Structure 1
Amino acid sequence: MIQSNREITKQDLIDQYVGFSIWSLPTPSLIISQAALERNVEAVKANLAVADLSSLTNNQQITPLLRVHIKTLKALEVTRLASAPSLSGTNGRIICSTLEEIRQTLPLVESGEITDILYGVPPAKSYLPQLAEFRHHMRTLLNKNSELRLVIDHPDQLDMALDETNGGAPDWTFFLKINCGDNRAGTTVTAPEFSAILNRVNSSDLGLYGIYCHAGGSYSGNDLAAAQGHLKRELAAAIQAVEAIRSHNSTAEGEIVEIEDLVMSIGATPTASVYSGAIIEEFQSHWPVKTRLEIHAGNFVSLDLQQVATGLNKAQSDITTHVLAEITSYYPERSEYMVNAGVLALAREPGRIKGVAVVENHDGWVVDRVSQEHGILKQLVSTKDTESATQPWKLGDKVLLLPQHACITSSCHDWYFVEKDHIVIDVWRPCRHW
């Protein structure tokens, strides 16, 4: 019987492939290394766990909280592993960037494994009714101690949220997103919108929960010093925002925003990787009292070529995510191969490591260019035992490709095949789209 991809079930794939070599999988397929996944998660949690904050003035927090952005590998199994309680105080705090990610996570809210969800982008007006429905469902039917929060960077977004509140939805709490120099999203403390947001909080039932800063530019760093510089930039922007809120409180009429227990949420995978108590101590003299520090990151569960390029002791062997592709043609006049993985299997992301993707265990071979359904393998660097003198593959051979940006590549695939020692051990179904 011929089945379409829409008809194939998880159990069908488990029955057919679990217990067999990854080389038996169909192509293109997305493969997750269980060992690398667990190793990468543990590395970030362990790093945060040893960073003692207790020396800061009036600060009772010992280690920073971890909030996991789940957009990289959108499988429930990854979310459960990455957000599991640990010494770093993970405590079920996540960021979702789509409504579908929230829908998929609801079983973990019901079980108590996830307690705090941040919808991590300023909400589209048309999304607010559904976000309000999610929040009501979470708090009344699944777990009364759970919370769904918003990110805000413009006062009109508060008005939209208030419209939903007046319509019967529960009151929102939110993070105020601060632009710390990358100009991707967020307001600044000198912008009129910053004061307008604080003023509108005073006249509503909405609650400011924290400050959110993300150094997206940290992906462009080359070494430890660069990543540390981006981390300091995040911290400085968050502290400046808290100080600006305090200043606004002291000059405005009435109580605008309660400063106590504000969360300063900072982070990206490079900055989370270099977080240390020593860096925090540099800010000790003006650390805001009665605040909590939270580190957010997402790509760390997988890593990719962009992360390896940051020079933070990450190797290609640390990359969790691979794409299995098959050699479909050979062009001897230019020593190039065709594989059946193109834009829709790999994406078309730039990076400082050359190639759309790198062929694992074949030095110098990369996916040089891609069309919709196929890519071209080319050897950019000849090694001492150069493969260019011989034909390293024949038609029908399979290769493992390491992507530039795992967040995008993983979103191209309906299934994740999980391997250990090159044997398929499980199949995971990620959520996709919005």
Structure 2
Amino acid sequence: MDYSLEHHQSYIGKPVSDLPTPSLIISLPAVKKNVEILHKDVEGLGIRFRPHVKTLKALEVTRMMLGEGKHRAVVASTLAEIRGVLPLAKEGLLDECLYGLPVVSSYLPQLAELRKSLRILLMVDNEQQVSLLEKFGADQPWDIFIKIDVGTHRAGVLAGSSALHSLVKRAEASNHAQIYGFYCHAGHSYASRTSEQAQQTLSEEFSSVIGASGLLPADRELVVSIGSTPTAHVVSSLKAQLPGNTKLELHAGNFPANDLQQVSTSLVQIQDQAVRIAAEVCSVYPERNEALINAGAIALSKEVSPNYPGFGTVVGKLDWGVIRVSQEHGILASSKTGALADKEFHVGQRVYLYCNHACITAAAFYVYYVVDANDIVVATWIPWKGW
């Protein structure tokens, strides 16, 4: 069994320098600040908010993202995440959950069971999925979001396409599906480098889902759901006028944690990252000016970010990055001329790393060590694992 999972509570009250390595550290002050900023933006506009629980996958941070029940809907990428949020539904803090992948037949029995405890919405982007719902034959129709592809080309039906028209018509004719609204996720917004670029992406999302909502009668109540963490940071710029029958909803997931991909957008600062990885220097190689740490591809992922070369960056030494990884090994090198590995590092030294993509990095760890402003462990969070 994972050592941290067996012994995590014994580290409460201890400094991060005592943690086993590799470990995932979460700054509680940074999480609280990041959540507060986004909540203020959303509440200032008077729009709905649906946090995505996929990043840290933990009950404690989900409770914070919901504002202790002020916001009452989430989106989840796995059934494990839906099962994980059920305690919040029992507490009366959560009303509904959107399963965020296009629905497949093997999941329908489990989703049907889950909606006995929580309202479940499904994602649809193909007429065949409506046929699956009909074949499954539930007692009541499923509420569905129709997913619109606004340029990410991951999932969704193209805005303005004949396929979208046909899908809306097919869903409307079915007794087993009820269109709740239209949803899009601008994953390509991570390429934004300025607030103006993020605003442009947000505007494109907005136009796409509003255009799709025009395929239904004007008196039909609908929800249009837009967003991603980069565009969420500029949501306060949204001034568009909604049709009277349409409610606007923002969704975002990474925002409590942030990472180097987010920092690369210029919409958050390096100090806004709440996640660090603790590792140790295993060896130093002066002849090639590199150092070896015990955090590799499994601990860090192989995700990259535009402005920070490699697979992670050393906190406090941003010119030193993890330039190569194998399964459990990471190689540190510097982009700065004249920087010497044997002057910066020694065997047994602790290093702390910012990661490129907090969602994937966090998935590798069975325990999160939550620290205060003095880097003392004040809590441990156990994430939901699996699918």
Instruction: Establish whether residue 91 from structure 1 lines up as the match of residue 45 from structure 2.
Output: no
What's 1:391 paired with?
Answer: 343
Q: Distance in 2 between matches of 1:197 and 1:43?
A: 37
Instruction: Establish whether residue 261 from structure 1 lines up as the match of residue 261 from structure 2.
Output: no
Q: CA 1:387–1:18 in 2, change beyond 3 Å: closer, same or farther?
A: farther
What secondary structure does 1:114 align onto? coil
Instruction: Establish whether residue 110 from structure 1 lines up as the match of residue 90 from structure 2.
Output: yes
Q: CA 1:331–1:119 in 2, change beyond 3 Å: closer, same or farther?
A: same
What's 1:327 paired with?
Answer: 281
What's 1:366 paired with?
Answer: 321
Q: Deviation string for 1:77-110 (max 9, x for gaps)?
A: 1111111258xxx522100000110111111111
Tell whether the 8 Å contact from 2:290 to 2:341 is kept in structure 1 after alignment. no
Q: Which amino acid aligns with 1:235?
A: F
- Aligned partner of 2:157 among 187, 190, 194: 187
Instruction: Establish whether residue 220 from structure 1 lines up as the match of residue 191 from structure 2.
Output: yes
Mapping of residues 31-70 of structure 1, within 5 Å: 31-51=25-45, 63-70=46-53
RMSD: 1.8
What's 1:304 paired with?
Answer: 259
Q: Which runs of 5+ in 2 are unaligned?
A: none
Q: Distance in 1 between matches of 2:383 and 2:300?
A: 16
What's 2:386 paired with?
Answer: 433
Q: Distance in 1 between matches of 2:101 and 2:176?
A: 21
Q: Distance in 2 between matches of 1:174 and 1:423?
A: 44
What secondary structure does 1:432 align onto? coil
Q: Distance in 2 between matches of 1:389 and 1:304?
A: 25
Q: Which amino acid aligns with 1:64?
A: I
Q: Which amino acid aligns with 1:178?
A: I
Once the two structures are overlaid, the 10-residue window that deviates more, 349-358 or 188-197, is 188-197
What's 2:132 paired with?
Answer: 160
What secondary structure does 2:380 align onto? strand
Q: CA 1:373–1:389 in 2, change beyond 3 Å: closer, same or farther?
A: closer
Q: Which amino acid aligns with 2:144?
A: F
Instruction: Establish whether residue 270 from structure 1 lines up as the match of residue 230 from structure 2.
Output: yes
Q: Distance in 2 between matches of 1:8 and 1:188?
A: 44
Tell whether the 8 Å contact from 1:328 to 1:339 is kept in structure 2 after alignment. yes
What secondary structure does 1:422 align onto? coil
- More strand, by proportion: 2
What's 1:56 paired with?
Answer: none
Q: CA 1:72–1:30 in 2, change beyond 3 Å: closer, same or farther?
A: same
What's 1:59 paired with?
Answer: none
What's 1:148 paired with?
Answer: 120
What's 1:133 paired with?
Answer: 113
Tell whether the 8 Å contact from 2:5 to 2:366 is kept in structure 1 after alignment. no
What's 1:253 paired with?
Answer: none
Q: CA 1:264–1:151 in 2, change beyond 3 Å: closer, same or farther?
A: same
Instruction: Establish whether residue 233 from structure 1 lines up as the match of residue 167 from structure 2.
Output: no
Q: Distance in 1 between matches of 2:177 and 2:103?
A: 15
Instruction: Establish whether residue 202 from structure 1 lines up as the match of residue 173 from structure 2.
Output: yes
1:394 is displaced (CA, Å) by 1.1
Q: Distance in 2 between matches of 1:321 and 1:193?
A: 41
Q: Which runs of 4+ in 1 moved over 4 A?
A: none
What secondary structure does 2:344 align onto? coil
Tell whether the 8 Å contact from 1:263 to 1:291 is kept in structure 2 after alignment. yes
- Aligned partner of 1:175 among 132, 145, 154: 145
Q: Which amino acid aligns with 1:323?
A: I
Q: Which amino acid aligns with 1:134?
A: L
Q: Distance in 2 between matches of 1:221 and 1:294?
A: 21
1:393 is displaced (CA, Å) by 1.9
1:354 is displaced (CA, Å) by 1.3
Q: Distance in 2 between matches of 1:359 and 1:6?
A: 24
Q: Which runs of 5+ in 1 are unaligned?
A: 52-62, 139-145, 247-257
Q: Distance in 2 between matches of 1:346 and 1:393?
A: 20
What secondary structure does 1:366 align onto? strand
1:151 is displaced (CA, Å) by 0.7
What's 2:300 paired with?
Answer: 346
- Aligned partner of 2:363 among 389, 408, 411: 411
1:196 is displaced (CA, Å) by 2.8
Q: CA 1:355–1:7 in 2, change beyond 3 Å: closer, same or farther?
A: closer
Q: Distance in 2 between matches of 1:92 and 1:273?
A: 21
Q: Deviation string for 1:230-282 (max 9, x for gaps)?
A: 01000110111112334xxxxxxxxxxx8522001000011111012x532xx
1:205 is displaced (CA, Å) by 4.0
Q: CA 1:20–1:163 in 2, change beyond 3 Å: closer, same or farther?
A: same
Once the two structures are overlaid, the 10-residue window that deviates more, 334-343 or 180-189, is 180-189
Q: Distance in 2 between matches of 1:34 and 1:171?
A: 41
Q: Which amino acid aligns with 1:5?
A: D
Q: Deviation string for 1:293-337 (max 9, x for gaps)?
A: 00000010100000000011x122110111100000100012110
Q: Distance in 2 between matches of 1:226 and 1:175?
A: 27
Q: Deviation string for 1:14-33 (max 9, x for gaps)?
A: 1x211111011110011111
Q: Distance in 2 between matches of 1:50 and 1:130?
A: 37
Tell whether the 8 Å contact from 2:315 to 2:351 is kept in structure 1 after alignment. yes
Q: CA 1:5–1:279 in 2, change beyond 3 Å: closer, same or farther?
A: closer
- Equivalenced residues, count: 384
Q: Distance in 2 between matches of 1:346 and 1:47?
A: 31
1:431 is displaced (CA, Å) by 0.9
Q: TM-score, normalised by structure 1?
A: 0.85
What secondary structure does 1:418 align onto? strand
Q: CA 1:356–1:189 in 2, change beyond 3 Å: closer, same or farther?
A: closer
Q: Distance in 2 between matches of 1:413 and 1:178?
A: 33
Q: Which amino acid aligns with 1:354?
A: P
Tell whether the 8 Å contact from 2:141 to 2:175 is kept in structure 1 after alignment. no
